[in-house]
Amino acid sequence: MRPVAISVDAPEDSETLRRQAGYTYTFLSDPDTAVIKRYGVLHKGAGEKGRDIARPAEFLVDRTGTVRWANLTEDIRVRARPEQMLEEARKLR
């Protein structure tokens, strides 16, 4: 199991954010929102200058690509806590 972040930001912007925040996990870029749409988390026009972005969400996805757990919110300030995600992952084993 490994965490991965996906956003509409350009790869270089995502990498800068990752480094500045001190995150050690992978950040992926989805500027065309293809993956974001597949997971049903597109937030049309909610970004800067009306840009489409991903709404806040966390997923646990198994090796087959099946979503085993999801946490969706409309509020960027409300996210699953790391402990919550680890607990949910343990339940899936």
pLDDT in tens, 27-55: 999 999 999 999 999 999 988 899 999 98
Q: What domain range includes position 28? A: 1-55
Going by the DSSP 8-state scheme, the letter that residue 55 receives in this structure is: P
**Length of the chain counted residue by residue:** 93
Res. 1: pLDDT tops 70: no
Res. 18: pLDDT tops 70: yes
pTM (predicted TM-score): 0.75
5, 24: one domain: yes
Q: Report the alpha-carbon distance of residue 49 to residue 66 in Å, rounded.
A: 34
23, 49: one domain: yes
Q: Closest Cα partner for 69 from 93, 45, 49?
A: 93
